[in-house]
Amino acid sequence: RHLARALHLATLVDDVGSECKAMRRLGMLALQSGDVARALKLFTTSADQPTTRADDSVPSMVLAAIASSLAGDATAAATWVGKASEHLMDDPASGSNILERVGTALLAIDRPELAIELFDEAMECAMMAKDDDRYETLSTRMVQAEMALDDSERENIPVLRRLLDGLTPAERVQQR
C-alpha cells in the first residue's frame, strides 16, 4: 500500500518520463493483485503520455494490449499491439530488449504465462536483428518462465499467443 501511494505521488511530478514509468509500475501492482480493470486504465494512461523517445511508451503499449485482452476487449488489444509493433519493427534489436524487460517484470509479479509470450517475441526480434547471443540469452529466459508456470496458468496462453504474435508480424520477420 505504501509503495502504491509513493508511486501515485511520483506521477504528480512534472516529468513525463517518470510519470509514464510510475503509471506503468502502478499498473503492474494492479495486475499482480488481480485488478485487471485498474491495470488497464493505468497502462493505457501511461501509453498515451507524450514521451521524448518513442521507445519509452512501447512497454506500456504492450502491457495495455495484454490487459485489454485479459479484460476481454480484443479490439483494443489488437490496436495496442499494432501501435507497439510499429515501434518494435523500426529497431528489432532495441525491441528485443524492451520485450525482455517487460517479460522480466511480468515474471517478477508471478505472471510467467505472460512473460513466456514476450520472451518468444523478443527472440523473434533478436532473430530479425541477427543477434545470436541475444537469442540464446532469451531462450534461457523462456525456459525460466516455463519452469515457473503451473497448469492453472496455461488457459490464457493460446489467446495471448495469437495476440502477441502481432508484435512481430510474420511478413516482417521474413523480410529481414
In tens, the pLDDT along 54-73 reads 778 999 999 999 999 999 99
Residues 82-96 as b/e (b if ≥16 CB within 10 A, e otherwise) read: ebbbebbbebbeebb
Query: How much is the average pLDDT of 140-144?
Result: 93
Q: What is the mean pLDDT of residues 159-164?
A: 85
The predicted model gives 106-115 an average pLDDT of 93
pLDDT for the residue 153: 58
Q: Please, which pLDDT band fits residue 119 given cuts at 50, 70 and 90?
A: very high
DSSP single-letter state for residue 57: G
Work out the number of other CB atoms within 10 angstroms of the CB of residue 52: 8
Predicted confidence (pLDDT) at residue 39 exceeds the cutoff of 90 = yes
Query: What's the confidence (pLDDT) of residue 176?
Result: 43
Q: Which of 103, 35, 44 is nearest to 70 (CA)?
A: 35
Separation of alpha carbons 78 and 73, rounded Å: 9
User: Would you give the distance in Å from CA 80 to the centre of its chain?
Assistant: 11
Burial 1-12 (b: 16+ CB within 10 A, else e): eeeeeebeebbe
Averaged confidence pLDDT in the chain = 86
Q: Residue 14 above 70 pLDDT?
A: no
pTM of the model: 0.86
